Amino acid sequence: MNRSVYRSFTTQVLPLPYPKEDFTGKTVLITGANTGIGLEAARHFVRLNASKVILGCRDVEKGNAAKRDIESTNHVDATSNPGRVEMWQVDLASFDSVKNFCQRAAKLDRLDIVVENAGILGMTYTVAEGYERITTVNVISTWLMALLLLPVLRATKEKFHTGSAESRGDSNVPHLVIVGSNAHFYTVFDGRDKPSIMEHYRGDSDMFHRYANTKLISLFFAREVAARMLERKGRGKPEVVLNVVEPGSCKTQLLREKEAWPWAYKAFVTVGFGLVGRTAEMGARTYIWAAAAGWKSHGLYLEDCKLSTPHEFVESAEGAKLQKKIYGELVEILEKISPGVTENI
């Protein structure tokens, strides 16, 4: 799979609209918010009047430093206004940690926006929770969290947002935003012909494309979940908008493991990001857009603060079959981790 490199490069250098949405009254949760795009998105949400912004961070110290940083740039008086920015610990390399985090979130009075931003890019094979670590973090835990949080998003819709999203075409409905990547354009997806895709990626096959493959698997799963949410909505489940956003190539700590990469690739990426990489703040604008994109974005892939389309392979007949297969396999895995969780779809 590939994509027009020209297109990727030209869109990268154009500025994106500065976010002006209003999140007054809303509670926003964003994972991986201690640095990079997540931190800048959290800063925007606070500036744009969100009542509560929860930073889901793996490292408590880094998370608390990010909280203080956001409060100082947004002039939040943490003493007179405690709870406007909160830091909650979560490690996506641990299923128990994700479950505990979501149990805590289930007690919130409201949860309007979830941005699942935490993610890793690496080429070294290590295992977390019995699966390859990048697959665990970028796919399994990301979706465990998404499905565990759907009930509180739906309850928020019931309590605070009346009317249907389609009829109002608005941005008020709770949004579940999954962070994807255009890296999915650049993989051969060697698991596509395997009897079990998730078993294949339990092993160390093609670590070079592993990050791209995890983002592709997550995108397939998102599309299937979004379609099934629509069916269940017809049977009376309240609406939640689910979309997948790609922030563009941004200069962050995402490439922190690059010392271990093949030198030619390392050089290509370093030069490419140096030339056209967005700032984390610019990339974060795409998250804000996605978090208020409304019903028209449900089940879609978003980039550059616009509705977009994934690689054509995703929408091909083969892609449609793979989507169902991946859905079935991940449902089985998620049910073992948290029985009944896929009923939340």
Q: Shortest distance, CB of residue 33 to ligand NAP, whole angstroms?
A: 6
Active-site pick, 181, 218, 249, 297: 181
CB 320 within 8 A of CB 130: no
Helices H, strands E: what count in the chain? Answer: 12, 10
Is 338 catalytic? The answer is no
Q: Shortest distance, CB of residue 187 to ligand NAP, whole angstroms?
A: 13
Maximum CA extent, the chain: 58
| CA-based torsion, 327, 328, 334, 339: positive or negative | positive
Pick 37 or 314: Cβ nearer ligand NAP: 37
Cα distance between residue 94 and residue 317, in whole Å: 35
Q: Shortest distance, CB of residue 235 to ligand NAP, whole angstroms?
A: 32
Is 215 catalytic? The answer is yes
Q: Shortest distance, CB of residue 87 to ligand NAP, whole angstroms?
A: 12
Q: Shortest distance, CB of residue 58 to ligand NAP, whole angstroms?
A: 4
Interacting residue ranges for ligand NAP, rule: CB under 6 A: 31-32, 34-38, 58-59, 62, 90-93, 117-120, 137, 179, 181, 246-247, 249-250, 252-254
Pick 101 or 295: Cβ nearer ligand NAP: 101
User: Closest residue to ligand NAP, Cβ-based?
Assistant: 36
Q: Which residues contact 108 (CB under 8 A, 6 or more apart)?
A: 27, 152
Active-site pick, 52, 157, 215, 325: 215
Is 287 catalytic? The answer is no
Cα distance between residue 228 and residue 251, in whole Å: 35
235, two tokens = 């049977």
Active-site pick, 52, 141, 157, 211: 211
Pick 62 or 258: Cβ nearer ligand NAP: 62
Q: Shortest distance, CB of residue 252 to ligand NAP, whole angstroms?
A: 3
Pick 250 or 314: Cβ nearer ligand NAP: 250
Q: Which residues contact 99 (CB under 8 A, 6 or more apart)?
A: 144, 148, 337, 338
Pick 138 or 297: Cβ nearer ligand NAP: 138
Cα distance between residue 305 and residue 283, in whole Å: 10
Pick 95 or 295: Cβ nearer ligand NAP: 95
Nearest 5°: phi and psi at 94? -130, 120
207, two tokens = 């670590």
- In b/e form, how buried is each residue of 53-70, taking b as 16+ CB within 10 angstroms? bbbbbbeeebbebbbeeb
119, two tokens = 């993610």
Catalytic residues: 181, 211, 215
